[in-house]
Amino acid sequence: MANEREIFVCAGEASGDLYAAQVVRALRAMHPELSFWGAGGVALEEAGVVLRHRAEDLAVTGISELRKVAWAAGRLLLDSRHQLRRRRPALALLVDYPGANLRLAKMAKDAGVPVLYYVAPQRWAWLSWRLRGLRDDVDHLAAILPFEEPFFTSRGVKTTFVGHPLLDLHSEVDSVQVRRELSPDNRPVLTLWPGSRPNELEAHLPRLASAAHRLKREFQLLWVTTAPWAAQRCQQAFEGARCVRPKDALALGRAVSSQVVALCCSGTATLQLALAGVPLAVFYRMGAISALAARALLRVPYVALPNLILGREVVPELLQERMTVHGLEGAAHTLMRPDVGARQRASFAEVRETLGGPGAGKRVAALALELLER
């Protein structure tokens, strides 16, 4: 018999942790008696989820990098299968992280636990050979990009576009205070986003640091990191690196967008910057084996989320061999041109309109309640 008061949550990456926490808080507000356990990061922990596994041990990209987290992922899967069978929660809320969460969806279904999957696996970007798992094992898919609902619905997956959770993460800031704290002189600010995973920092920091040395006279440099260990890695690569949290860098961008630009690792941060109105260029580099697999499997012309959403190149992409010191340096200079910044910001306004209004977390919570009431 299902435990009607428990919900299993799994978010294996930093962005999914934030999105899942929005849903948990919304569910707690409506039903304080609910309890939550599973895998996640700081945001889910602060929202009151009892973590059996931590997201920072699970996040990785690329095929050749998987061995670095294989042990942690294996423990997550084995333990979760046992707990799902033993505890029989009323719902499994699986957020992004398809490498593990698609397997967990099957485990939950086998245990008789309904599955709500939040943030659609990017099967529109890759070969769709695993769509069968979504059809068979997921009761409802909550999509955050507008073109995902028709894509998955047409392939037999019950899907609802709920809007993008990033629209709920922005807050009002004191522009004078933010500028005083993060940008004390009048030079333009270049924010450097090397990535949130260990393998990303390993691949990106050498070129980013070399480019930063060439740009430090023209720009104030801010390294954007999500954890103390990442800040330490940046300071090892670039002596005197000033590291700030993503929310502070975004607040500065919203406050003085005409004087802030970004070089950003491909991922959710590219959309955060676009919604904050910060001109940016996107980069990504991975190991040779992973890159070969990516070229074989990728089925879309872009990787940056603003480009994917609008279907055209809004921000430049410096991928693999194009991510060079010279390319990064040139991109930073180009972004400071007033015409380039104005053109990107106009496109970013289109992105915001396309993503719908705030409230994604509450809409996902409503879908969760529908499944719970069954």
Task: Enumerate domains of the chain plus CATH numbers.
Answer: 3-163+359-373 (3.40.50.2000), 175-354 (3.40.50.2000)
Q: What is the pLDDT of residues 339-361, one digit of tens each?
A: 999 999 999 999 999 998 899 99
Ramachandran area for residue 119 (φ above 0: left; ψ -120 to 50: alpha; else beta): left
d(C-alpha 353, C-alpha 346), whole Å: 11
Q: What is the pLDDT of residues 185-216, one digit of tens each?
A: 778 999 999 998 888 999 999 999 999 999 99
Ramachandran area for residue 195 (φ above 0: left; ψ -120 to 50: alpha; else beta): left
The angle formed by the CA atoms of residues 118, 61 and 232, to the nearest 5 degrees, is 105
What residues are paired with 35 via a beta bridge? 6
- Confirm if 14 and 101 have CB atoms less than 8 A apart: no
- Chain centroid to Cα 10, Å, comes to 14
pLDDT of residue 295: 54
- Confirm if 61 and 197 have CB atoms less than 8 A apart: yes
Report, as ranges of residue numbers, the positions in the chain whose pLDDT lies below 50: 62-65, 293, 296-297
Nearest to 53 by CA among 20, 16, 14, 11: 11
Nearest to 271 by CA among 295, 246, 245, 301: 246
Task: Provide the token pair at 190.
Answer: 């270049």
d(C-alpha 38, C-alpha 108), whole Å: 13
pLDDT of residue 359: 95
DSSP string covering 129-163: TTHHHHHHH-SEEEESSTTHHHHHHTTT--EEE--
